[in-house]
Chain A
């Protein structure tokens, strides 16, 4: 994105960060193709640079996969996108990380509102020890939605979008912890979708699931593509190849290669990428 485009994107939300400060602001979809952009973006844990000056542009409403060996910084980079790293003592970003042209580490950003726009699904399904209904309605209730009809609609729509509705529609009042692992993960996805985020971050969302439940999540990613910008961190390279439009390969904190998934898995540009995806190292 050039300077003019950045200014335009910034102006759209008014003063820098203003779009995250008002809950009544209309949802704005990215209209310039780039949803998330990093500019010499680093993340430090104390003095250790876990993500090293990464420059990348993540396209709107596509699926972007981040792959790389353990400790390469992929999850750290993912968690930086909705500032989950803020919760880690000693963790410090540098450089810029832009969401629709606005620096999410800017001084005026409301992190809660930011996370409303950028939802997250974690490796381990983590439903609240509440009913299935309350899990999905939790976010909308926090947003101030009280009308039962509206909540019913949101819960149904979110569960349908997470391909879980048919399995739970007759037992919405039951405790979510009684669901299977795969169902719990889809419930977490429904919970994330209920607050209508623009971006979904997924941190190894199927690593704890069996192949059938994994296939369901992968199918869902395919269905959600086009409506959400999805960024998925995965250890499973075949999964990255199956579900993503673009793939980023990270190694020791650096972005080694980033581009079209089909190209990266057939003819990568960098030998380091080739060696990793063909299992010759890492």
Chain B
């Protein structure tokens, strides 16, 4: 039985790693599309969402199959449960990348509002968080997962700063209202991606340590 289950887990690992790579790629493209106001790249991100959705369904089916047929326990159970949950987060991150891409399409047609907000820095930090959370998952490294959780507050603070800046700019340059609201949306979507990266990190910690650290700041 262990050999059969190991085969299923190897297959699952391959599928979810591919999904990780695809999702990381669409986030990077979406961020680049905003920064370079590249409508074509943004549309590419939007068209790739179906691939993310299809792979998410496949990973879920593989998880359910392994649970139903092999009734895994211990690390095998924790790995499959972590895959199920991370799979869900990956799909949501894919959707957020599409949301960012949609803002990029809009922003590419608008004049630059020249806001002081350091969007590239926030995007870079969120991408690093996402990469680290996936590295933690792939390498089963709880230490990296803990680092990811520590970064989340910083992203939340950047998002709050972005809201304040956008508010000020709306008052001083109301002609850029639409662009500013779109930029604020991008910030919010990035912050949500960071939240999902944190979820992934929490699931990695559960998988490795068997501890549920959600809602329990003292354990982080």
**Residue from the list B1, B2, B5, B77 in contact with A266, Cβ < 8 A:** B77
CB contacts (< 8 Å) of A266 on chain B: these are: 73-74, 77-78, 210
Q: Is B75 an interface residue (CB 8 A)?
A: yes
Task: Using A238-B71, A278-B72 as known contacts, say yes or no to A265 and B2 having CB atoms under 8 A apart.
Answer: no
Q: Name B56-80 residues within 8 Å CB distance of A.
A: 71-78
Q: Is A49 an interface residue (CB 8 A)?
A: no
CB contacts (< 8 Å) of A26 on chain B: these are: none
CB contacts (< 8 Å) of A277 on chain B: these are: 73-74
CB contacts (< 8 Å) of B72 on chain A: these are: 278
User: Is there an interface contact between B74 and A268, defined as CB atoms closer than 8 Å?
Assistant: yes
Task: Using A238-B71, A265-B73, A266-B73 as known contacts, say yes or no to A280 and B78 having CB atoms under 8 A apart.
Answer: no
Query: In whole angstroms, how far apart are the Cα atoms of A266 and B73 in the complex?
Result: 6
CB contacts (< 8 Å) of B1 on chain A: these are: 279
Secondary structure at the B interface, as helix, strand, loop or mixed, is: helix
**Residue from the list A237, A267, A273, A279 in contact with B78, Cβ < 8 A:** A267
User: Is there an interface contact between B75 and A279, defined as CB atoms closer than 8 Å?
Assistant: no
- A262-282 vs B, Cβ < 8 Å mask (1 yes, 0 no): 010111100001100111100
Q: Is A241 an interface residue (CB 8 A)?
A: yes
CB contacts (< 8 Å) of A267 on chain B: these are: 74, 78, 209-210
**For residue A241, which residue of chain B has the nearest CB?**
B73
User: Is there an interface contact between B2 and A280, defined as CB atoms closer than 8 Å?
Assistant: yes
User: Is there an interface contact between A278 and B210, defined as CB atoms closer than 8 Å?
Assistant: no
The interface size of chain B toward A, counting residues with CB under 8 Å, comes to 13
Q: Name A130-183 residues within 8 Å CB distance of B.
A: none
**For residue B2, which residue of chain A has the nearest CB?**
A279
Task: Using A266-B210, A267-B210 as known contacts, say yes or no to A279 and B74 having CB atoms under 8 A apart.
Answer: no
Query: In whole angstroms, how far apart are the Cα atoms of A268 and B72 in the complex?
Result: 13
CB contacts (< 8 Å) of B75 on chain A: these are: 274, 278
The interface size of chain A toward B, counting residues with CB under 8 Å, comes to 14
Which of A263, A268, A273, A278 lies at the interface centre, i.e. has the most chain B CB atoms within 10 A of its CB? Answer: A278
- A228-243 vs B, Cβ < 8 Å mask (1 yes, 0 no): 0000000001100100
Which of A237, A267, A274 lies at the interface centre, i.e. has the most chain B CB atoms within 10 A of its CB? Answer: A267
Expressed in whole angstroms, the minimum distance between the Cβ of A12 and any Cβ of chain B is: 40
Expressed in whole angstroms, the minimum distance between the Cβ of B101 and any Cβ of chain A is: 39
CB contacts (< 8 Å) of A274 on chain B: these are: 74-75
Query: In whole angstroms, how far apart are the Cα atoms of A274 and B210 in the complex?
Result: 13
User: Is there an interface contact between B71 and A278, defined as CB atoms closer than 8 Å?
Assistant: no
Q: Name B196-220 residues within 8 Å CB distance of A.
A: 209-210
Expressed in whole angstroms, the minimum distance between the Cβ of B140 and any Cβ of chain A is: 14
- B136-159 vs A, Cβ < 8 Å mask (1 yes, 0 no): 000000000000000000000000
**For residue A267, which residue of chain B has the nearest CB?**
B210
Query: In whole angstroms, how far apart are the Cα atoms of A278 and B72 in the complex?
Result: 7
CB contacts (< 8 Å) of B78 on chain A: these are: 266-267
Query: In whole angstroms, how far apart are the Cα atoms of A265 and B210 in the complex?
Result: 11
Expressed in whole angstroms, the minimum distance between the Cβ of A246 and any Cβ of chain B is: 16
User: Is there an interface contact between B5 and A265, defined as CB atoms closer than 8 Å?
Assistant: no
Q: Name B87-133 residues within 8 Å CB distance of A.
A: none
CB pairs A–B below 8 angstroms (16 shown): A238-B71, A241-B73, A265-B73, A265-B74, A265-B77, A266-B74, A266-B77, A266-B78, A266-B210, A268-B74, A274-B74, A277-B73, A278-B2, A278-B74, A278-B75, A280-B2
